[in-house]
C-alpha cells in the first residue's frame, strides 16, 4: 500500500478488510463446528453406552424370567430380590444433536465506475509481489479446504444419527478461496495496466475499461461503456445481465441527446468523403440492441438506419411467427365468434411494415433513403423515413404529416412527398445536398378528433425531442449551421409543429405551412415560434375545402396579425415555366386517371414555392391571398351574428 493511491487503492483496501472479516467469520464457524462435532461425539458415546447397558440388562432379565419359571416358590423370593438389585437402565434415548454451520462471503468491490476525473497510482512490482504471496497462500488454503471437505463428507456419511440443519460452510469456504484468487487476478490486471501505460499513474476511467468485467451490472454507467474498446465491449455484452443493464440505461426517460451524441461519437466512427461509417464498437451495439439504437436520439442517422434495417427483418419474422399461432376469431359464450384483438394488432403491425418498406422505396427514387426509426408496439405504429441523409446533407427539412397518415396507411405517399420536395430543392440549387424527412412519429387524429389539440400536444413533445436529437448529432459532427434545419407541415401537422416550435428553441431556419388545420389560439403570433423574423410561411389553395374544417376552434395563420408570409399555390408561370395549381386539400393527387393536383405533386406552384421557403429563398415567393377573417369558425359565427343583430344595450 505504500505506493498504491487513488480510487483503486481504496477498493483494494476495502477488499482486504472484507477478506479479513470473511476469514475471521469462517474461522469462527469452523471452531463452532469443531466444538459441535466434539459434543456430538460425546453424545454419541453416551447413547452407545446407554444402549449397551440396556441391551445387557434385557439379557439378564430374560435369564431371570427363565429361572423364575423353573424354581420352586421357596427359591423364587431370592431370585426376585436379585431383580430389585439390578434396576433397568435409562430407556429414554439421548436426543441427537443438531449441527448448523453456515458461511458465505461478502462481495468485494473491484470497479470504481463513473465519469469522475480521479486517478490511481501504484508500483506494479509491489502489486505483483502481493499477487505472488496471495497465490501461494491460496494453494495452502486450497489443501486445507480439501482436508475439511473430505472430513465433513466422511463425518456426515458415517454419522447419520446427527441432525445437520443448515450447512453452507464448505461452499462458503470455496467462495472465499475463489474471491482471494480473483483478488490476485484483479491486482495483476491493474499492474499490467500500469506497466502498459509506462507510468505509475492512470486515470480511473482507463482502469475502469480494463476492469469492467468485475463490475456488477447495476454499477456500470454509460461513461463506463463508452470508454470500452470493441474487444472489451464484446466481452462485457456477452453477459446477459450487462446487455440488459445497457438497454435500461439507453431507454430511461429524459436522456439528453447531447450526452448520447457525445457518448456515441466516443465509441468511434470514421468519416470518409462525407460518408459516416460506424466503428467496431458501434457495430456491436447496433447488432446487440437494434431496437434501442434505431430509435435513439443522439445516434447518427447512418447508425440508426443500419439498426432499423436489421429490425425490419426480425420484426417481420416475429409477426409471421405470431400470426401463425394466433387465431383470427375467438368464441363467445353465446356460441358466436368475435375478431381476436391480438390478431388485429398483428395485422396492423404487418401492414405498417409493408408501408415502411414501400415508403423507403418511394423516398429513395432520386438517391439513398434512410430509415430513422419505427415503432410498432407502443401505441399505434410510428415511423420516420428520409429522402437523403440528414447526417450530412447541407440542407435538411423535417416534413410533418396530418390527419390519418400512418405507416400502414398513407406513409408511402408522404415519403413520395419528401422525395418530390428533395428533388425540387436539388433542381433549384444543383450541386448542393438536401434531405427531407417524412416524419409521422406521432399518433395522428382521425376525423372525429381532428378538432382536438390532444394529439398535437403529444406529437409536439416527440417532435421537439427528435429535433433536439438531430441538432445534437449535427453539432457533434461539426456540420451544423443556422440554415441547416427547416420544418414543413401539412394540415394537422401544422398544429403539431407550431406547438413544438412555440415550446422550445430548436434553431430552425424556416417554418412552412400547407393547408393548415389551424394554430392554437394561445400562440399569438409567428414571433412566438422561435423562427427568424420573416421566415414563417403559409399557403392555402382556393380549391382546398377541408383545411378550414380543422380550424373550427383554432386560428388561421394566414391572418395578417399572425405575421406569417402567405405564398401562392395557384397555377403560375415562373421563369417561363408553367406550374399547376393545387386543386384540393391533399398533398399527393396527380396520377393516372387523376387530373387534380395536391400541394406537393411534381410541377406544382406550391412545391416550387415550398422548395424556396425551406432553403432560405423565401424572398422569391409569389404572394398569396390572405383570408378576410383569420378567426376560428366558431368566433367568426359570433362576429357574423353580432353584425346581423341590432345593437341591444
Spatial CA neighbour of 257 closest among 466, 483, 56:
466
Distance CA 591, CA 362 (A): 15
Spatial CA neighbour of 219 closest among 190, 182, 248:
248
Tell me the residue ranges of DSSP E strands in 242-288: 269-272, 275-278
Q: Is 406 helix (H, G, I), strand (E, B) or coil?
A: strand
**What is the model's pTM?**
0.80
CA end-to-end distance (rounded Å), the chain: 94
Query: At a CB cut-off of 8 Å and minimum separation 6, what does 471 contact?
Result: 257, 480, 485, 506, 507
Instruction: Give CA angle at 509 (506, 511), nearest 5°.
Output: 90
Distance CA 289, CA 283 (A): 10
Residues in the chain: 649
pLDDT digits (tens, 9 = 90+) for 380-434: 999 999 999 999 999 999 999 999 999 999 999 999 999 999 999 999 999 999 9
Distance CA 493, CA 460 (A): 10
At residue 649, the pLDDT reads 31
Low pLDDT (below 50) residues in the chain: 639, 642-643, 645-649
pLDDT digits (tens, 9 = 90+) for 205-227: 888 888 888 888 888 889 889 98
Q: Which residue has 491493474 as its cell numbers?
A: 190
Q: What are 132's three cell numbers?
A: 505472488
Torsion, Cα of 421, 422, 423, 428 (10° steps): 90
Whole-angstrom CA distances from 581 to 57, 482, 543, 597, 609 are 123, 32, 9, 7, 12
Amino acid at each position: 500500500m505504500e505506493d498504491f493511491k487513488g480510487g483503486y487503492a481504496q477498493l483494494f483496501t476495502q477488499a482486504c478488510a472484507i477478506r479479513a472479516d470473511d476469514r475471521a467469520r469462517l474461522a469462527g464457524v469452523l471452531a463452532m463446528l469443531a466444538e459441535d462435532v466434539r459434543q456430538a461425539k460425546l453424545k454419541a458415546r453416551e447413547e452407545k453406552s446407554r444402549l449397551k447397558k440396556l441391551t445387557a440388562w434385557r439379557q439378564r432379565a430374560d435369564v431371570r424370567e427363565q429361572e423364575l419359571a423353573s424354581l420352586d416358590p421357596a427359591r423364587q423370593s431370592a431370585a426376585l430380590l436379585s431383580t430389585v438389585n439390578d434396576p433397568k437402565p435409562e430407556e429414554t434415548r439421548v436426543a441427537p444433536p443438531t449441527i448448523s454451520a453456515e458461511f458465505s462471503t461478502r462481495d468485494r468491490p473491484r470497479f470504481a465506475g463513473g465519469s469522475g476525473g480521479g486517478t490511481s497510482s501504484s508500483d506494479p512490482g509491489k502489486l505483483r509481489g502481493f499477487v505472488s504471496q496471495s497465490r501461494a497462500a491460496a494453494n495452502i488454503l486450497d489443501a486445507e479446504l480439501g482436508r475439511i471437505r473430505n472430513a465433513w463428507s466422511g463425518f456426515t456419511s458415517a454419522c447419520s444419527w446427527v441432525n445437520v440443519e443448515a450447512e453452507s460452510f464448505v461452499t462458503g469456504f470455496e467462495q472465499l478461496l475463489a474471491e482471494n484468487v480473483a483478488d490476485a487476478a484483479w491486482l495483476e490486471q491493474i499492474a499490467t495496466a500500469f506497466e502498459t501505460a509506462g507510468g505509475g499513474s492512470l486515470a480511473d476511467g482507463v482502469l475502469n475499461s480494463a476492469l469492467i468485467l468485475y463490475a456488477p451490472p447495476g454499477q456500470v454507467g454509460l461513461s463506463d461503456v463508452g470508454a470500452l474498446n470493441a474487444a472489451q465491449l464484446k466481452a462485457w455484452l456477452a453477459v446477459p445481465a450487462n446487455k440488459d443493464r445497457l438497454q435500461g440505461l439507453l431507454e430511461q426517460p429524459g436522456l439528453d441527446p447531447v450526452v448520447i451524441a457525445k457518448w456515441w461519437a466516443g465509441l468511434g466512427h470514421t468519416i470518409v468523403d462525407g460518408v459516416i461509417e460506424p466503428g467496431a464498437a458501434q457495430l456491436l451495439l447496433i447488432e446487440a440492441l437494434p431496437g434501442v439504437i434505431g430509435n435513439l436520439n443522439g445516434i447518427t442517422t447512418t447508425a440508426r438506419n443500419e439498426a432499423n434495417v436489421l429490425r425490419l427483418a426480425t420484426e417481420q419474422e416475429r409477426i409471421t411467427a405470431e400470426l401463425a399461432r394466433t387465431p383470427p376469431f375467438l368464441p363467445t359464450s353465446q356460441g358466436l365468434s368475435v375478431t381476436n384483438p391480438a390478431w388485429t394488432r398483428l395485422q396492423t403491425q404487418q401492414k405498417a411494415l409493408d408501408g415502411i418498406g414501400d415508403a423507403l422505396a418511394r423516398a429513395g427514387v432520386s438517391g439513398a433513403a434512410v430509415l430513422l426509426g419505427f415503432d410498432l408496439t407502443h401505441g399505434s405504429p410510428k415511423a420516420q423515413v428520409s429522402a437523403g441523409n440528414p447526417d450530412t446533407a447541407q440542407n435538411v427539412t423535417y416534413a410533418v404529416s396530418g390527419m390519418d397518415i400512418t405507416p400502414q396507411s398513407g406513409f408511402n405517399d408522404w415519403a413520395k412527398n419528401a422525395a418530390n420536395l428533395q428533388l425540387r430543392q436539388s433542381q433549384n440549387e444543383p450541386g448542393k445536398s438536401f434531405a427531407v424527412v417524412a416524419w409521422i412519429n406521432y399518433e395522428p387524429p382521425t376525423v372525429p378528433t381532428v378538432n382536438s389539440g390532444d394529439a398535437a400536444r403529444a406529437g409536439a413533445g416527440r417532435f421537439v425531442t427528435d429535433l433536439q436529437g438531430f441538432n445534437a448529432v449535427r453539432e457533434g459532427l461539426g456540420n451544423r449551421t443556422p440554415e441547416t434545419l427547416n420544418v414543413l407541415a401539412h394540415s394537422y401537422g401544422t398544429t403539431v409543429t407550431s406547438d413544438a416550435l412555440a415550446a422550445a428553441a430548436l434553431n430552425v431556419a424556416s417554418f412552412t405551412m400547407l393547408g393548415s388545420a389551424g394554430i392554437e389560439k394561445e400562440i399569438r403570433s409567428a414571433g412566438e415560434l422561435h423562427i427568424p423574423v420573416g421566415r414563417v410561411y403559409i399557403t392555402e389553395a382556393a380549391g382546398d375545402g377541408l383545411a378550414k374544417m380543422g380550424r373550427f376552434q383554432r386560428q388561421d395563420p394566414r391572418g395578417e396579425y399572425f405575421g406569417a408570409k402567405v405564398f401562392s399555390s395557384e397555377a403560375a408561370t415562373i421563369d417561363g415555366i408553367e406550374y399547376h395549381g393545387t386543386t384540393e386539400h391533399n398533398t399527393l393527387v396527380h396520377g393516372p386517371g387523376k387530373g387534380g393536383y395536391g400541394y406537393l405533386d411534381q410541377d406544382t406552384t406550391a412545391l416550387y414555392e415550398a422548395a424556396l421557403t425551406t432553403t432560405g429563398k423565401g424572398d422569391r415567393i409569389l404572394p398569396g391571398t390572405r383570408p378576410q377573417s383569420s378567426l376560428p369558425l366558431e368566433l367568426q359565427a359570433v362576429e357574423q351574428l353580432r353584425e346581423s343583430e341590432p345593437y341591444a344595450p
